[in-house]
Structure 1
Amino acid sequence: MATNFDGLLQALRSFIEATGSVAPVGEFLGDIDWEMPPRSLKPHGVACSRLLDRAVELAPAGCRPLAELLARNRGELHWGQTYTAADFGQRFLDNYGWVEMFGTRGHYANDKVAGGFLVLGPDVEYPDHHHLAEEIYIPLTGGTAWRMGDAPFGLRDAGEVIHHASNVNHAMRTGSEPLLALYLWRGGPLAAKSTVSGTASGGKG
């Protein structure tokens, strides 16, 4: 029997809908059928889930309820990692993970759009990478630098909408605090591994 995450899914939906006037969030919303059947996924933890308590402390008022709900449910969720220690090193792996709330492998089945949460620990660089799917990120914590294409890294605030078009390189670099971000994917294989064109930095250690 599937664990019931309806409350978390509804909170995720409400948060996304609150930003629906910001392009292209409304277009993504138009593609999401929220009547999604649940899947039975066994809980699977990742080391970076320990950072959710700090992410809740860092999240501004408008983002904190969603961050709190995610942290409260972390132990029952099926977390994943696209990469291994052989790709980027053990420190990166210990500070990286995601959970797909809905999509082709998420807690709720959706073949058209995927959505969930990404966690990155402090002093970590997620290197330049790209994928066929179009992507939106909405950070729930600030203090992370983001880069797209040939542009330099720039800090983005919590609640900002960050849009990556299909097959455009992008990267993230955290500072002294972790990143918690909401993500949406559409228009490509929803479980595809990104093509990495940069070199990861696991920071100190």
Structure 2
Amino acid sequence: MSLSQALQAACDLHSRLPALRAFAPWPSDLEPAALAPAAIPAQQQVAEFALPGTPETQPLIGTLRTAAGQAHWTQTYTEAEVGAHFLQNYGYFELFGPTGHFRSTQLRGYIAYWGAGLRYDWHSHEAEELYVVLGGGAEFLAEESECWLQAGGTRLHGGWQPHAMNTGAEPVLTYVLWRGAGLAGLPLMGGKRTAAA
């Protein structure tokens, strides 16, 4: 199964989840890019991801499991920032966006994975963000609220809004959208913009 099929599954999910449609229209400027695969330790965990999704998210999980080896996986953070154990059990790839497998300047779509028992510390970024939990679960924290999300749950973060996430006894596989200013930027550890600058 290919990343083109993963893109189609993401498009289908977009059409089926009201929260995704409300966040942004599906991009109309997608163009394939010759982005070579890049492996990370957690890639195999995604290929073997066995936790169930919802009827809406399961098709995307299925395509990601089989196409994990074709993705250009990356890690934003250093060992000094998050620790070696975190880096062994975390990673993401840009399915579509300014530097993704499919290029778009309208919207950025990531696939991101965190293994069990991880603390994704406070960070922020300029772009607005919507998480969709595909399978597994995690605790999502912001200064205003915190909640535990399972498959099908969504979480919205505003631009430069500090947020964090913790996984428990199981991992979490997510689909993440960015929109607006800072679309091509990166998250900054430390939460608030002034603290991270």
Shared fold by TM > 0.5?
yes
Counterpart for residue 197 of structure 1: 190
1:54 deviates by 5.0
Counterpart for residue 67 of structure 2: 73
Deviations 1:28-57 (A, max 9, x none): 116x21x41111011101111222255333
1:196 deviates by 1.6
Distance 1:5 1:142 in 2: 22
Counterpart for residue 14 of structure 1: 12
Counterpart for residue 126 of structure 1: 120
1:161 deviates by 1.9
Task: Write out aligned runs for 1:20-169 (5 A).
Answer: 21-22=18-19, 25-29=21-25, 32-33=27-28, 35-151=29-145, 153-169=146-162
1:76 deviates by 1.1
| 2:135 and 2:173 in contact (8 A); partners too | yes
| 1:56 and 1:64 in contact (8 A); partners too | no
Distance 1:92 1:70 in 2: 21
Number of equivalences: 191
Distance 2:50 2:105 in 1: 30
Residue 16 of structure 1 aligns with an amino acid whose one-letter code is H
* More strand as a share of residues: 2
Distance 1:178 1:86 in 2: 22
Distance 2:47 2:23 in 1: 32
Distance 2:135 2:120 in 1: 16
Structure 1 runs of 4+ with >6 Å offset: none
| Structure 1 residues 168 and 54: alpha-carbon distance in aligned structure 2, compared to 1, 3 A threshold | same
1:144 deviates by 0.9
Unaligned stretches of 5+ residues in structure 1: 199-205
Deviations 1:74-128 (A, max 9, x none): 1111111111212211111111110111111100111121002110011001111
| 1:120 and 1:178 in contact (8 A); partners too | yes
1:5 deviates by 2.8
| 1:78 and 1:99 in contact (8 A); partners too | yes
Counterpart for residue 201 of structure 1: none
